[in-house]
Amino acid sequence: MQDSATLPPSSTLRAFSVVELIAKAEEPMSLDELTELSGLPKPTVFRILALLVRGGVVARESIEKRYFVGPRLSTLALKVQMHSPARAWRHSILVRLVEEIGETCNFTILDGNDVVYLDRVETSSAVRLHMDKGSRVPLHCTASGKLFLSQMTPVQLRRVLGTGPLKRYTERTITSIDALEKALKKVRADRVGTDIGEYLEGSVCLAVPVTDRDGRICAVVALHGPAPRMTLRKGIEYLPALRRAAKALAGTLGQDDEHASCVHKAAPVGRLSEGQNG
């Protein structure tokens, strides 16, 4: 519990301290947990939460009444990242990586239940797979998405993806939750995500994590190219370059940016928040 002398003095900052607690939590939080961690009176926390829920900043589970990041906060955090002062620094790192390996590279984050391309640098090769910055792709069949899923518990995984079957994009897409969990064990052990034609036919992708100071995956750097020019074997040869870029990108995550980038947690699936239609 915080010492009363250190509590934010204004109502706005008190509300912001509650938002920070929710944003940094690994699981949705209860009123009692937020009261204890904030050091604020329980009625005050309840009033703050009610206001934040009405504004879409946080959301509340309809059954267990726990609070998690809402759509408005998630959108704000994404905009902070898209327009961060560090974006030019990050872009230059991707440019150097693409110059080194000769394939398109992405810097991605988790936003809700999607992977978002925060930045992207295209290869100069005539044959390439074009996707715009800000594009969203699914979690279960992309190299970046598998890395984000690999740090989740089985319970969290099912909250995010449901019970299956998962959407099929190609003949190689994993549609079974059980089969995906087995695949994620290797991703977790190797700390490398792969997508060999699972999302787009003829595409080969590899990804490595960008971690914060606590070792959590806050973002991902990935490469992809069209087969047969890009193969899994060739991608593995590029892993040292990817990891160097990931380390450099981690260095761009200052304390304030880190909080923003790690706030993009997946919303619980299968537990409707209040205000949503069933």
The CATH number assigned to the domain holding 107 equals 3.30.450.40
Q: Comparing 10-24, 86-100, 209-223, 246-260, which segment has the lowest mean pLDDT?
A: 246-260
Residue 2 within any structural domain of the chain: no
Last residue within a domain, chosen from 38, 69, 100: 69
Taking residues 214-232, report their average pLDDT: 89
pLDDT band at 168 (very low <50, low <70, confident <90, very high): very high
The answer on 219 and 113 residing in a single domain is: yes
Instruction: In whole angstroms, give the CA distance from residue 274 to residue 62.
Output: 5
The answer on 188 and 53 residing in a single domain is: no
Question: What local confidence, expressed as pLDDT, does residue 241 receive?
Answer: 96
C-alpha distances (whole Å) from 240 to each of 94, 202, 244, 249 are: 14, 24, 6, 14
The answer on 19 and 53 residing in a single domain is: yes
Residue 241 within any structural domain of the chain: yes
Flag whether pLDDT at 266 surpasses 50: no
Instruction: In whole angstroms, give the CA distance from residue 223 to residue 195.
Output: 10
The answer on 91 and 57 residing in a single domain is: no
Residue 278 within any structural domain of the chain: no
pLDDT band at 127 (very low <50, low <70, confident <90, very high): low
Residue 271 within any structural domain of the chain: no
The answer on 18 and 148 residing in a single domain is: no
What is the total count of domains within the chain? 2
Residue 275 within any structural domain of the chain: no
Domain harbouring 50, CATH code: 1.10.10.10
Output DSSP code: residue 61: B
The answer on 165 and 146 residing in a single domain is: yes
Last residue within a domain, chosen from 24, 51, 69: 69
Residue 269 within any structural domain of the chain: no
The answer on 59 and 85 residing in a single domain is: no
pTM over 0.85: no
Residue 1 within any structural domain of the chain: no
Flag whether pLDDT at 88 surpasses 70: yes
Residue 272 within any structural domain of the chain: no
The answer on 106 and 33 residing in a single domain is: no
Taking residues 160-173, report their average pLDDT: 92
For residue 188, give both structure tokens. 């977790």
Flag whether pLDDT at 129 surpasses 80: no
Q: Which residue range(s) make up the domain with 89? A: 76-262
Instruction: In whole angstroms, give the CA distance from residue 235 to residue 167.
Output: 26
For residue 114, give both structure tokens. 């999607």
The answer on 100 and 210 residing in a single domain is: yes
Taking residues 244-253, report their average pLDDT: 90
Output DSSP code: residue 75: H
Average pLDDT, the chain: 83
Flag whether pLDDT at 167 surpasses 90: yes
Does residue 176 contact residue 166 with C-beta atoms inside 8 Å?
Answer: yes
